[in-house]
Structure 1
């Protein structure tokens, strides 16, 4: 249920920070993108309850590669704290289908502050306008 929000967050990161950002289903990261993980990489993983048994080993493996890890989750009961750099634990009673509504503002803030750190005005993205006009 997180893939749509991951794609949107990646797009916002690219637009606001003029940076390269990619979105993957968490477990797809093992099929090649894992080779790009370095100490200069921030990997954000949005976890959901049914997939935790797969996502926890993935996060451990990515950390061994030296990547910086930011995990968004709920209901993990501290299972990430030993091998993540940053952790956002939202304790709630919402279903995983509603979690994107909680995570997206935080992901937008991440892009906003990354843009500010790069001295980029996030309100005026390069080569973009607020409205897309089509001429027919």
Structure 2
């Protein structure tokens, strides 16, 4: 079942960077920004992650946890997190369960071939676990600022 704005997000628990497992219920009482991105260490994903990193202190001040999600392995995430000095965790959704519940796996054209991949998307979940806002088919540059404005407006 796909998550809709105004509905509670189903519990999830995924392997994350630094040998952690992160579940939605463990974040109760905090706002959560879940940003889904196609692949570690690619230009758009690096830019998006850097912009979330650069605004991290402001998100924390607004009682908000940032979590990046892709299908990459935790090992790949650990390298990407270290290289970009990301102060937040990255979740590995190798079996696409979370991606599917947020309906972010799409057919995309790459070099003339259709491939399944993550459509860059971000979701804002409030302190009670309810989805408040979503951004789909977004451009990486400047997106983190727009999300921060939405967090502050909640």
Question: TM-score when scaled to structure 1?
Answer: 0.38
Give the TM-score of the pair, scaled to structure 2: 0.34
**Which structure's residues are more often strand, by fraction?**
2
Between 1 and 2, higher relative CO (CA 8 Å, sep ≥ 6) is seen in 2
Q: Which has the higher helix share?
A: 1
CA radius of gyration, larger in: 1
